[in-house]
């Protein structure tokens, strides 16, 4: 296969996915609303004092992000699996991992990026001190690709099951733990006034590693699921 | 032998509860694992035999009909 | 080497081979583990710091040791199944994962029970306890995925992919948990810096470790045999193994 053919297949997959989701915008909005609601539940549960809220803000936002990633994960492959698109993709001459990467990228564009844009509102609601804002945004920016990539693996593994929900969270949440630890650690470091960039860089490294390896796992999972 | 009496062995120098709780639950978990493995095996055999008998019955029935 | 290994890729051969080894391994496990535990419980001296509570070590350390290495063997089996398309390696997941999960549970539980008299708390978000807990979740995830599919072979392959993804993540999880732990843990609890163990304690411990290894092998062999039968149920050789007469369907 020549380079341009791979490239055009990738862009074709991405364009198609973007178009499909843009025609059903509620798929993008619902996970974001979910995050907003979870975030606004916390002040009601633990009290509105800024000392508590500010301390747990970054953690709460990240946990909400993990949960919403699970919530929106079904749409990654489900419809494509049901209408046979996934099977067509496995038959393409282009490497399946490349096409999987395209799908991951689109998923991130439509779930990760809006999350980064929404984050300031959440931070405001949870009274995160200003010192932590830029770090929170940085961790979300470099961390959400991991979220998209890992969710894609889980979704591809469970796509043929029909009812993947609870199983998917069992599979994925343990794998998200490093992400949670480094991200909230970075914000905490920023809040106490020490350097946060080591953790952010670490997250960025993890993110690159995941983006490098995950497409292959997704491709293998799709082949197992489509069978 | 470290312990003078049976009683001292059970008490474990005051830590008896913890030591025997740890050992007891560990053995229980191991035991359950062993039992579950053996039962999976016998269940498989039972189902297989039942399935075979069912197929034999079907075959006989078909012979009688024809 | 491949020519030599090739006959062993046949499920029937492996089934009978494991059947021949199983009694010996089981006997060895019972004898050595029993001996090691009696040695450790009755004859090893008490610890000068921890008294007799340290005797939990004789199950805690072996199970904790093997909980991690069993997961690695799980991933190795999955890798072999993936690369050489050896379906039996995928089936081995069903044999290995429950054993690893129980070992992890034992390590966690004994750790918690040991922590109570030593640290004064049942659960401490200690780096090792936390990563063991995550390891337990990983095992349960592999098992759940294995049995989630109505088609056994698809389940085995899917669980294999998950096991490989998990094994890449284990070092990252471990490192992150340790880093998180040093960040958060106050100075109230310190994990003991133990002096090198006296031989009178070390030898029973080593015996127990060997016993646990044999026990794990015996459990895995037994489960592997069941899994081979389960996956090959439609093959004629299974009929001979399960002693079903071809004419009446009765068990001989």
- pLDDT level of residue C187 (50, 70, 90 thresholds): very low
Residues from chain B contacting residue C233 (CB–CB below 8 Å): 44, 48
- Asked whether the beta carbons of A9 and A100 are under 8 A apart, the reply is no
* CA–CA separation, A76 and A125 (whole Å): 30
Q: What is the pLDDT of residue C215?
A: 94
**pLDDT confidence tier of residue C5, bands split at 50, 70 and 90:** low
Q: What band does C184 get if pLDDT is binned at 50, 70 and 90?
A: low
Please determine, for residue A214, whether its predicted confidence score (pLDDT) is greater than 90.
yes
Torsions phi, psi of A98, nearest 5? -65, -45
User: Residue A174 in contact with residue C141, Cβ under 8 Å?
Assistant: yes
Overall average pLDDT of the C179-188 stretch:
62
Which sequence spans correspond to the domains of chain C? 14-45+56-187+203-233
Helices (H) and strands (E) in chain A, counts: 10, 0
* Residue C23 burial (CB count, 10 A): 11
Contact indicator for A62, A180 with CB cutoff of 8 Å = yes
A103 SS3 class: helix
Nearest-Cα distance to chain B for C223, in Å, is 6
In the structure, what pLDDT confidence band is assigned to residue A212 with cuts at 50, 70 and 90? very high
pLDDT at A6 over 50: yes
Question: Which of C97, C72, C103, C70 lies closest to C156, judged by CA?
Answer: C97
**CA-CA distance, C162 to C144, in Å (whole number)?**
11
User: How many angstroms separate the CA atoms of C134 and A172, rounded?
Assistant: 11
Q: What is the ipTM of this complex?
A: 0.86
Q: If phi over 0 gives left and psi between -120 and 50 gives alpha, with beta otherwise, what is residue C149?
A: beta
Backbone angles phi, psi at A76, to 5 degrees: -60, -50
pLDDT higher than threshold 50 for residue B29: yes
Touch of A by B (3+ CB pairs closer than 8 Å): no
| pLDDT confidence of residue C188 | 42
CB contact under 8 A, A174 and C141: yes
Structure tokens at A154: 């889980």
Q: What is the pLDDT of residue C2?
A: 60
Domain boundary assignment for chain A: 3-226
- Map residue C48 onto helix, strand or coil: coil
For residue C251, the cross-strand partners are: C244
In a domain, B43, yes or no: yes
For chain B, what is the domain count?
1
The per-residue pLDDT for range C160-182, each reduced to its tens digit, is 999 999 988 888 888 888 888 77
Task: Pick the residue of B24, B48, B58 with the most C CBs within 10 A to test the interface with C by mutation.
Answer: B48
C-alpha C175 chain-centroid distance: 22
Instruction: Kindly report, residue by residue over A151-172, the tens digit of the pLDDT.
Output: 999 999 988 887 767 888 888 8
* Mean of pLDDT over chain C: 83
Check residue C190 and give its pLDDT: 45
By Cβ distance, the residue of C140, C165, C179 closest to A175 is C165
Query: Any chain C CB within 8 A of the CB of A173?
Result: yes
Residue C57 confidence (pLDDT): 85
Residue of chain C with shortest Cα separation from B20? C56
- B23 CB within 8 Å of a chain C CB: yes
pLDDT exceeds 50 at position C117: yes
* Contact assessment for residue A184 and residue A177, using Cβ atoms and an 8 Å cutoff: no
Q: What percent of chain A has pLDDT over 70?
A: 98
**Which candidate, C142, C158, C148, places its Cα nearest to that of C72?**
C142
B24 within some domain = yes
pLDDT at position C28 is 94
For the ranges A135-144, B15-24, C120-129, C237-246, the one whose mean pLDDT is highest = A135-144
**pLDDT tens for each residue of A12-51:** 888 988 888 888 888 888 888 999 999 889 888 888 877 8
Give the mean model confidence (pLDDT) for residues C154-159: 88
Contact B29 C105 (CB under 8 A): yes
């Amino acid at each position: 296969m020549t380079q341009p053919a791979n490239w055009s297949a990738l862009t074709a997959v991405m364009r198609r996915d973007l178009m499909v989701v843009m025609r059903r915008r509620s798929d993008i909005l619902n996970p974001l609303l979910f995050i907003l609601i979870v975030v606004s539940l916390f002040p009601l549960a633990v009290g509105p004092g800024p000392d508590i809220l500010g301390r747990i803000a970054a953690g709460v936002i990240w946990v909400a992000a993990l949960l919403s990633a699970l919530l929106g994960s079904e749409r990654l492959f489900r419809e494509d699996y049901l209408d046979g698109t996934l099977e067509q993709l496995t038959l393409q001459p282009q490497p399946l991992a490349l096409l999987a990467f395209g799908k991951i990228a689109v998923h991130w564009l439509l779930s990760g990026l809006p999350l980064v844009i929404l984050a300031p509102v959440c931070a405001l609601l949870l009274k995160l001190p200003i010192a932590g804002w830029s770090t929170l945004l940085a961790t979300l920016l470099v961390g959400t690709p991991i979220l998209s990539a890992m969710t894609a693996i889980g979704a591809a593994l469970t796509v043929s099951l029909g009812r993947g929900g609870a199983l998917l969270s069992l599979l994925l949440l343990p794998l998200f733990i490093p992400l949670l630890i480094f991200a909230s650690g970075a914000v905490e470091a920023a809040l106490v006034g020490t350097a946060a960039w080591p953790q952010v860089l670490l997250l960025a490294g993890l993110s690159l590693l995941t983006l490098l390896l995950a497409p292959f796992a997704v491709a293998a999972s799709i082949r197992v699921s489509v069978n | 032998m470290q312990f003078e009496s049976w009683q001292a062995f059970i008490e474990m120098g005051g830590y008896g509860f913890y030591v025997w709780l740890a050992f007891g639950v560990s053995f229980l978990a191991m035991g359950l694992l062993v039992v579950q493995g053996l039962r999976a095996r016998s269940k498989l055999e039972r189902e297989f035999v039942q399935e075979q008998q069912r197929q034999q019955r079907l075959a006989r029935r078909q012979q009688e009909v024809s | 080497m491949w020519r030599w290994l090739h006959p062993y890729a046949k499920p029937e051969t492996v089934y009978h081979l494991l059947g021949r080894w199983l009694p010996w391994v089981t006997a060895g496990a019972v004898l050595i583990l029993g001996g090691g535990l009696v040695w450790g419980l009755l004859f090893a001296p008490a610890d000068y710091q921890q008294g007799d509570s340290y005797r939990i070590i004789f199950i805690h350390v072996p199970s904790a040791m093997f909980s991690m290495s069993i997961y690695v063997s799980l991933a190795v089996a999955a890798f072999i199944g993936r690369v050489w398309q050896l379906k039996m390696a995928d089936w081995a997941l069903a044999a290995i994962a429950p054993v690893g999960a129980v070992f992890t549970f034992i390590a966690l539980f004994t750790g918690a029970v040991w922590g109570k008299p030593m640290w004064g708390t049942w659960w401490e978000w200690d780096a090792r306890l936390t990563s063991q807990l995550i390891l337990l979740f990983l095992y349960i995830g592999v098992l759940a995925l294995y049995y989630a599919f109505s088609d056994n072979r698809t389940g085995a392959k899917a669980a294999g992919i998950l096991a490989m993804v998990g094994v890449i993540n284990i070092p990252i999880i471990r490192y992150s948990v340790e880093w998180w732990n040093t960040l958060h843990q106050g100075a109230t609890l310190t994990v003991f810096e133990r002096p090198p163990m006296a031989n009178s304690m070390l030898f029973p411990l080593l015996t127990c470790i060997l016993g646990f290894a044999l026990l794990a092998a015996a459990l895995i062999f037994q489960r592997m045999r069941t899994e081979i039968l389960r996956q090959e149920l439609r093959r004629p050789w299974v009929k001979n193994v399960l002693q079903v007469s071809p004419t009446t369907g009765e068990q001989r």
